[in-house]
A and B are shown apart, each in its own frame.
Chain A
Amino acid sequence: SQQGEEDPQALSIQEGENATMNCSYKTSINNLQWYRQNSGRGLVHLILIRSNEREKHSGRLRVTLDTSKKSSSLLITASRAADTASYFCATAPGLYSGAGSYQLTFGKGTKLSVIP
């Protein structure tokens, strides 16, 4: 079942602008992760934020997490044409018990287009 829902579904920006994508989820989480997928390829892990963290940075990426609103955002600063890809959020369940705790639940993704 889908837990994370990304918003918007598609985003088109000019090179150099910032891109913001949002993710909402429904149940308690242990952590939330963001992945990137270039067209027709596998997903690549970008960043993980734990439920007790509010903000995390990695290079041009900034992720925030608001557990009270059950939402997260991914900000890509100074975007480049190479950032063109689909971005997915994925949630890990809040209680690590049983085989189900090993799963991640992925959203449907935001398709980002960065125009040179």
Chain B
Amino acid sequence: DVKVTQSSRYLVKRTGEKVFLECVQDMDHENMFWYRQDPGLGLRLIYFSYDVKMKEKGDIPEGYSVSREKKERFSLILESASTNQTSMYLCASSLNPGQGYNEQFFGPGTRLTVL
């Protein structure tokens, strides 16, 4: 079974802090994704990566950056956390479409609160 793990289930940070959210997958997937989920807004894509050191902006990249130095690890960075970044953050991974189904496998989520 694919396993996607996220470094923290709950995180509380102060405004202005630099925040790192880590995601690791164990199935050699090429693609990794970061979403945020807010009530009434569904899942919104922040960034995704289709290969090591490659990244693409999603729908809401402002205020975030990402890093993918190794295939299995994808990090989301909040350079200077703000209260409007309080949210549930979900990481996912998938194969390339050409390799078969592109279903995404999700981690358990990190609920981040910025005070």
Interface residues of A (CB under 8 A from B): 1-2, 30-31, 33, 35, 40-45, 48, 88, 90, 92, 96, 99-104, 106-109
Contacts and interface: CB of A to CB of B under 8 A. Distances in A.
Contact of B103 (A33, A88, A101, A109): A33
Contacts of B50: 99, 102
Contact of B109 (A40, A92, A99): A40
Contacts of A101: 97
Nearest to A9: B40
Closest A-B pairs by Cβ, 7 of them: A42-B106, A108-B42, A106-B43, A45-B103, A43-B106, A99-B56, A96-B97
Given A96-B97, A100-B56, A103-B48, A40 B111 contact: yes
A109 B107 CA distance: 18
A92 to B, nearest CB: 6
Given A99-B50, A99-B56, A102-B96, A2 B42 contact: yes
A43 B6 CA distance: 13
B42 A42 contact: no
Contacts of A109: 42
The A interface, classified by DSSP as helix, strand, loop or mixed, is mixed
Contact of B42 (A41, A44, A48, A107): A107
Grouping DSSP codes into helix (H, G, I), strand (E, B) and loop, the B interface class, with mixed when no group exceeds half, is strand
Contacts of A40: 88, 109, 111
B95 to A, nearest CB: 9
B74 interface: no
Given A41-B108, A99-B56, A48 B94 contact: no
B42 A88 contact: yes
A42 B102 contact: no
A100 B96 CA distance: 11
Interface in B6-47: 31, 33, 35, 40-43, 45
A106 B42 contact: yes
A102 B90 contact: no
A94 B56 CA distance: 19
B40 A108 contact: yes
